[in-house]
Amino acid sequence: MTVPTPLPSAPPRLLVSVRCVAEAERACAAGADLVDAKDPECGALGALPVATVRALVGRLAGRAVTSAVAGEPALENMEAAVRAMAATGVDYVKVALPPGCSPALLSAAAAAAPGRLIAVLFAEDAPDAGRVPALAAAGFAGAMVDTAGKDGRRLPDLLDGPHLSAFTAACRAHGLLSGLAGSLRISDIAGLARHAPGYLGFRGGLCRDRDRRLDLDAGAVAEAVRTLRALPAREAA
């Protein structure tokens, strides 16, 4: 399928992380723009089994953009983990990148999912805009910031507005998709939208009792969609 790239002037699109085919259907029906497969029982970026992701992609059949987490693999296993998840047919593959990855490692990982690999940088590592050019040069499709610790602290608690704006601006300048995530709530949407990310990512804030390990709440997904759609368009950067 052709994957749409949000325009800088458009409000962010909604990424919803799901753990199974049933939740993927629920998120898609409620209006999620991007359905993201990951296992909330296995940390911030836990990977689902390849077979589950393949089934999820097949069930949605192009009705929403899809992504899947390849996890937080050791550096020597990163290329293989990305390649295995890319083989499911998912539109994008996400992988955690610790600080200090070499250019050769970045290029090898990107080559395992050509034009489809998204770098996930953890807010606790204070990633700055200076990492973005290397990702673009290596062939990554995008980059997002998330929180590693799911301890109640949200992305805005860890990184300030100028930091987030610089990150998303660098992504736009280098032709990369950008995303912001990390224990977000619907009430965070308006504030984070000011930084003009391509996507805002949610899991726990759209689950029953705001617990990322519980079922996805279709009503909360629909509310997030409405909130995003009601945002005014921004001036193109």
Residue 5 lies in a domain: no
Q: Which of 38, 54, 131, 212 is catalytic?
A: 38
Residue type, 207: C
Residue 4 lies in a domain: no
Residues of the chain with pLDDT under 50: 1, 6-8, 235-237
Domain total of the chain: 1
Q: Does some domain include residue 217?
A: yes
Residue 152 belongs to a domain: yes
**Does the residue 56 lie in any domain?**
yes
pLDDT of residue 4: 52
Catalytic site residue 38?
yes
- For 91-127, write each residue's pLDDT tens digit: 999 999 999 899 999 999 999 999 999 999 999 999 9
Q: Domain for residue 82, yes or no?
A: yes
Q: What is the pLDDT of residue 232?
A: 86
d(CA 103, CA 99): 12
Question: Which candidate, 56, 102, 105, places its Cα nearest to that of 80?
Answer: 105
Beta partners for 15?
34, 201
Cα–Cα distances in angstroms (integers) from residue 91 to residues 150, 202, 208, in the given order: 26, 18, 27
pLDDT confidence of residue 150: 78
Domain CATH number, residue 55: 3.20.20.70
Q: What is the mean pLDDT of the chain?
A: 93
Domain that holds residue 178: 13-229
Q: What is the pLDDT of residues 159-185, one digit of tens each?
A: 999 999 999 999 999 999 999 999 999
- Is 150 one of the catalytic residues? no
Domain assignment present for residue 58? The answer is yes
- % of residues, the chain, pLDDT over 90: 89
* Full-model pTM: 0.93
Catalytic residue among 19, 26, 94, 203: 94
Give the pairing of strands 65-69 and 13-18: unpaired
Q: Is residue 3 situated within a structural domain?
A: no
